[in-house]
Amino acid sequence: MGSVFQAPIEEEGMMEWWLQLRHGHNSLKQKGIDFTFMLITWSIWKERNSRTFDSAPGRYEMHMVEAVLSEGQL
């Protein structure tokens, strides 16, 4: 059965949320959580830079999900 991930609450910082998400998992699962977190963060950063510096139009959410999944398969 898969894990259920909850978004961070406003009072909680991203670091606290991420550490809480990893808590209680073995090192292999923690590496998977870390990889997924970094991949999504990196994809959002690239999208932001593309919009800011290249004046690229924003992508729809589904295109962002597809880009993250595609990058994760490399």
Task: Please write the tens of the pLDDT for every residue from 2-56.
Answer: 556 666 676 678 888 888 889 999 999 999 889 988 888 888 898 889 889 998 8
For residue 18, is it within any domain?
no
Tokens standing for 63?
A: 């295109």
pLDDT for position 4: 61
- How many structural domains is the chain composed of? 1
Q: Is the dihedral of CA 53, 74, 2, 27 positive or negative?
A: negative
Q: Does 33 map to a domain? A: yes
Tell me the backbone φ, ψ of residue 12, rounded to 5 degrees: -100, 135
Residue 49 covered by a domain: yes
Residue 34 lies in a domain: yes
Q: Residue 1: its pLDDT value, please? A: 44
**Inter-residue contact 30 to 22 (CB < 8 Å):** yes
Does 30 map to a domain? yes
- Looking at residue 30, what is its pLDDT? 93
Residue 55, judged by CB atoms within 10 A of its CB (0-12, 13-18, 19+), counts as exposed
